[in-house]
Amino acid sequence: MRYDVKNVLSEFNLLMEDIKKSIPQEYDAFLAEKSVLTKDGRIKAKNKWLLLLVASVAAKCPICIPKAVERCLQSGWSKEEMLEACMISVLVGGSSAMTYVTLVDKAIDELKK
């Protein structure tokens, strides 16, 4: 299966720069909200990134997955922990969500290099 994780991230970042230029106030508001929601609170930031990964699989978002995997790796989650957590998405999303777990596996392997 062709899924170029680094290309997906690179293209996403370019597109986000275009959005930032077009609507800077809204873009900054989005980043501020994201920052507040992903920092340590009652739930540790590390756990929030794992939750975001699970949600990305459940939402079947091929762009969200590598971003979440990247943050999970930075937070110290192992491949096995991430894949186990993503299997919860399969309970919610059914067997079609399993195809997105394969994208998680690929993203982990490519981003760990």
Amino acid 3: pLDDT: 87
Distance of alpha carbon 20 from alpha carbon 110, whole angstroms:
28
| Gap between the Cα atoms of 54 and 83, Å rounded | 9
Give the domains, in start order, of the chain with CATH numbers. 5-38+45-111 (1.20.1290.10)
Give the count of beta carbons closer than 10 Å to the beta carbon of residue 59. Answer: 16
Q: Is 65 exposed, middle or buried (0-12, 13-18, 19+ CB in 10 A)?
A: buried
Amino acid 2: pLDDT: 82
Whole-number pLDDT of residue 113: 79
Single pTM value for the model: 0.90
Q: How far apart, in Å, are the Cα atoms of 103 and each of 84, 86, 112?
A: 14, 11, 14
**Cα separation of 96 and 41, whole Å?**
33
Per-residue pLDDT for the chain (113 aa), expressed as one digit of tens each?
788 999 999 999 999 999 999 999 999 999 999 999 999 999 999 999 999 999 999 999 999 999 999 999 999 999 999 999 999 999 999 999 999 999 999 999 999 97
